[in-house]
Amino acid sequence: MNAASCQSHPVTCPNVNDRDPFQRRTATLGSVLPWIAELGRTIPGLVDSYARKDVLNPRTRERIILAVTEVNGCRYCAWIHGSWQDFLGDVPTGTAEDALLVYARACADAGRPLDPGPLAETLPPEAIRAIRATVAQIEVSNLVGNTVDGLLARATRARPFDPLATLQEIAAVGAALPLAVPMLGAAAFLKAVERIAPRLGDIDKPEAGEANLLVHVLAEAMPLLLANAAVRLVVLNLPVRVPVAVRAGRTTATMRVGQGGVTLENGVAGDAVAVVEGEVDTLLKLVTGSLLREIANVRIRPGRG
Amino acid sequence: MTLPTGSGQVQTLLVDALTEVVGPLNVTTAVEQYLTDVTEQPPGAADVVVRPGSADEVRKVLLAAAGAGAPVTPVVAGYNVAGLTIPRRGGIVLDLTRMNRIVEVDEDAMYVVVEPGVTFEQLKRHLDDQHPDLVYSYPFAPPSTSVLANALLDGLNNLSMRHGAMGQWVNGVEAVLADGTVVRTGAGGVVDKWFARAPLPDLTGLFISTQGTTGVVTRAALQLQPRPAARARWFAFADDLDTAYTAMRALARTGSFDDVGLMTWPAAKMLFGATRDLRRADDEPFAFLFLDMTGASDDELAARKDIAQRILDDAGIETVFPVEDLVRAVPRYGPLAELPTTLDFLLDFPGGGLTWVGSYGPGAGWVDGAHKGLGVLEEHGFPPFLVARPMAGGHYFVLRFVACFDKGDVAEVERVRAVMGRLADVVLDQGYVPYKASADAAQRILARAHPGFVELWSRVRGLLDPDGRMNPGRW
């Protein structure tokens, strides 16, 4: 719920009133407590949301965060998590994610955690717990971020001075600073990496009719594989194109990565430095981000190069 | 009064009569878009296009056509890949797209009554929104194509392995005969529920696979199926046709799966933008199987997955993976995962030509027929592109040979005509029978048919359309 809708739903926006021209929700006991309680109920989910890609994909997590932030209008969180999302890279998502974003926005609109029941039809309990925790933590962050702006508004007299409220706001911001400052630093770092990481240009490969299916799939999946700015920074800046072969089922291909680009060819090249072998589904999951879980299911052996 | 069509006199008479029936906005002499399709079939000829909005208007149009002795060619999307709606002898093109009402869904007896203009996209959206416990069966065809035409032409959809060709899904029809008589078949012809074709004389068959030659179907009752609670879809790679057939046969016979289909390797390459000079590397699979599995519960689905995995293992198929994993990594595969679908890679082929010979026949001749048909395609310079599927629990199989071509290249069009003729003979030699048969394929079928079949068909057609005006040039 944005400021305008808060005005039309004062019951759900307890800290917004007609006399205060600052119309974004800020951190008050009443606004923060439901989210703190939600975090308390879902704390393992908060850990999972950052530690387990199989529970909640980081790109999905960041989309949820940005969806909530868009509703609450917190510019600091938008900057931090926008940087994070840019660093991770944007990749296409399925329609299944739409339901998560709808749920996250609805929670933000309501200003309190909502029943995640509808998500249970398609998601396991641990994923739902991670989503709830993600929404709760960014809600708290949004409220604190907005409180900073609220204080600035008071300082510039764009907002009436209220000693008690000001003290409360200072306390809320002060409590959040130990976490907020490192987050801002980390976001600045991620943004810098994203800016200096080379972009993936055209991929050299055989003619479409000649390229084998693995070459086609790798070419299609390469933007996904190199979506992460840190990966691009390292891999595309290699001083030579490093040949790595891939065997998926029976079909083989060789990727040459480095010097700002990627070349793909049919078969295992004689100079391949390594051969990554695995079943097709394992390699597909590797491509789509289940790296930590699937890495154990592939074999990497030295090539003849 | 029977006048030769194409004359100015008949045109004027027809246009006036038809305008009176459907209004001036729904009659036009701008017929060009109806005279060709994506296939190699030569352009046709027509005098007037009329777009009725109801069964009664169809009846009046057919009465007017009968009065003028005008041929009538019905069309909806015009996308049947056999030139079946190209008007061959002038006269009236009966464009049924305005008749697009979903008349009724009976949740208890599980059927839907549709008019000819109802599209797959429209039906799917309607069921998903209004009747989420029921599903229809969808083809690898654009969402804008006609549900009813697909059923009447005995097409194959994604539940055809379990429930048979789409003609089997028709519980009954309402149709208008060449002389304007309105008829009904199936249970709905006797009582007010179209619950089945049984236990009556099966007159519905008069309108199945007859390509509009026996009358114009204005509505049909089509079976629906319960929506399963759990679903999984797999891709699997087969290195040769024997392996693929062994797996398809075994999977179909369990009765445990919704769909098992096959495409050979050129389809996958074309999906990635390849058009000509397709080459298969030695380490690439020859064919791709797709499996659609459902269950009333997660446990039932898990049990079916176990059965599928065992069958694939026994057949020697090692590479099996969920469709979702592929689509997530390669979104381009998305259209293959959700039907109905527009397969752009077929429609976007340079020159825009697409055609095939599809056939139904016994499993015993499948492998041999597939090899021979693919050989014919390659002999004529086309990639070995085959689509296949067991049907009706494995009682019969599909052999469909596909060719994309440049419609602007006269020599290539001639080559396509030659190869499609050869392919029709190849499948007939294997005991297979072309479905949605082009005019040429229909003649090849009749040339080999038992005299008794030809005689009965001739009598039926003579009875229902004595002047031979209904979609002439077919059968």
- The CA distance from B340 to B138, in Å, is 5
Q: Does the structure show a pLDDT above 60 at B384?
A: yes
Candidates A60, A247, A284: best to mutate against B (most CBs of B within 10 A) is A284
CA count, 13 A, side-chain hemisphere, A38: 25
Q: Does the structure show a pLDDT above 70 at A263?
A: yes
Residues of A in contact with B325 (CB under 8 A): 281, 284-285, 288
Q: Does the structure show a pLDDT above 90 at B272?
A: no
Kind plus residue range of the DSSP H or E element containing A255:
strand A251-258
SS3 A87: helix
Read off the DSSP letter of residue B297. S
Q: Which residue has the higher pLDDT, B7 or A256?
A: A256
Instruction: Report the residue of chain A nearest B276, measured CA to CA.
Output: A209
- The CA distance from B469 to B47, in Å, is 14
Instruction: Report the residue of chain A nearest B332, measured CA to CA.
Output: A220
Tell me what percent of the residues of chain B surpass a pLDDT of 90. 88
A31-86 confidence digits (pLDDT tens)? 999 999 999 999 999 999 999 888 898 889 999 999 999 999 999 999 999 999 99
SS3 A242: strand
- The CA distance from B177 to B59, in Å, is 8
- The CA distance from A205 to A200, in Å, is 14
Residues of B in contact with A248 (CB under 8 A): 319
Kind plus residue range of the DSSP H or E element containing A70:
helix A58-72
Average pLDDT of the segment spanning A134-161: 93
CB contact (8 A) between residue B284 and residue A213: yes
Candidates B325, B382, B385: best to mutate against A (most CBs of A within 10 A) is B325
Q: Does the structure show a pLDDT above 80 at B381?
A: yes
Tell me what percent of the residues of chain A surpass a pLDDT of 90. 63
pLDDT band of residue A290 (cuts 50, 70, 90) is low
Q: Report yes or no: B448 at the A interface, CB cutoff 8 Å.
A: no
Residues of B in contact with A284 (CB under 8 A): 321, 325-326, 328-329
Q: Which residue has the higher pLDDT, B333 or B377?
A: B377
Average pLDDT of the segment spanning A202-214: 94
Instruction: Report the residue of chain B nearest A223, measured CA to CA.
Output: B329
Instruction: Report the residue of chain A nearest B282, measured CA to CA.
Output: A251
Contacts of B417 (CB under 8 A, 6+ apart): B40, B440
Candidates A250, A264, A283: best to mutate against B (most CBs of B within 10 A) is A250
- Chain B: nearest CA to A256, how far in angstroms? 20
Ordered structural domains, chain A, with CATH: 3-196 (no CATH), 203-302 (3.30.1050.10)
What are the C-alpha distances in Å from A131 to residues A40, A73, A108, A123? 14, 20, 13, 10
Residue among B278, B284, B332 minimizing CB distance to A251: B284
Dihedral sign for Cα B435, B437, B441, B445, please. Answer: positive
Candidates B240, B289, B328: best to mutate against A (most CBs of A within 10 A) is B328
Number of H helices, E strands in chain B: 15, 19
Q: How many residues does chain B have?
A: 475
pLDDT at A18: 61
pLDDT at A292: 53
CB contact (8 A) between residue B272 and residue A211: yes
Mean pLDDT computed over every residue of chain B: 94
pLDDT at A229: 95
CA count, 13 A, side-chain hemisphere, B421: 10
Cβ contacts from A onto B, under 8 A? 85
Q: A274-278 and B320-322 as β-strands: parallel, antiparallel, unpaired?
A: unpaired
CB contact (8 A) between residue A213 and residue B265: yes
pLDDT at B14: 84
CB contact (8 A) between residue B277 and residue A210: yes
Dihedral sign for Cα A129, A132, A135, A138, please. Answer: negative
Average pLDDT of the segment spanning A104-115: 95
pLDDT band of residue A249 (cuts 50, 70, 90) is confident
Q: How many residues does chain A have?
A: 305
- The CA distance from B385 to B14, in Å, is 45
Instruction: Report the residue of chain B nearest A252, measured CA to CA.
Output: B283
Q: Write out the two tokens for A143.
A: 């409220």
Average pLDDT of the segment spanning A212-233: 91
**Binding-face residues of B in 311-330 toward A, CB within 8 A:** 318-322, 324-330
Question: A19-33, A244-258, B361-375: which has the highest mean pLDDT?
Answer: B361-375
Residues of B in contact with A287 (CB under 8 A): 329
Residues of A in contact with B276 (CB under 8 A): 209
A4-33 confidence digits (pLDDT tens)? 444 444 334 545 556 778 889 999 889 999
Residues on chain A bordering chain B, Cβ-to-Cβ distance under 8 angstroms: 92, 94, 207-213, 216-217, 220-221, 224, 248-252, 266-267, 279-281, 284-285, 287-288
Contacts of B146 (CB under 8 A, 6+ apart): B76, B77, B96, B116, B117, B118, B119
CB contact (8 A) between residue A217 and residue B275: no
Question: A281-285, A286-290, B29-33: which has the highest mean pLDDT?
Answer: B29-33
pLDDT band of residue B4 (cuts 50, 70, 90) is very low
pLDDT at B3: 43
In the beta sheet, which residues pair with residue B360? B398, B433
CB contact (8 A) between residue B283 and residue A267: yes
- Chain B: nearest CA to A197, how far in angstroms? 22
pLDDT at A14: 46
pLDDT band of residue A3 (cuts 50, 70, 90) is very low
Ordered structural domains, chain B, with CATH: 8-95 (3.30.43.10), 102-226 (3.30.465.10), 230-435 (3.40.462.10)
Dihedral sign for Cα B445, B450, B454, B459, please. Answer: negative
Q: Write out the two tokens for A282.
A: 């394992």
pLDDT band of residue B11 (cuts 50, 70, 90) is confident
State the residue for tokens 């416990």.
B133
Q: Does the structure show a pLDDT above 60 at A133?
A: yes
Kind plus residue range of the DSSP H or E element containing B177:
none
CB A182: neighbour CB atoms within 10 A?
A: 10
pLDDT at B102: 98
pLDDT band of residue A295 (cuts 50, 70, 90) is low
Q: Which residue has the higher pLDDT, B294 or A280?
A: B294
Residue among A217, A250, A285 minimizing CB distance to B330: A217
pLDDT at A9: 44
Residues of B in contact with A212 (CB under 8 A): 280-281, 283-284
Contacts of B301 (CB under 8 A, 6+ apart): B230, B231, B232, B293, B294, B295
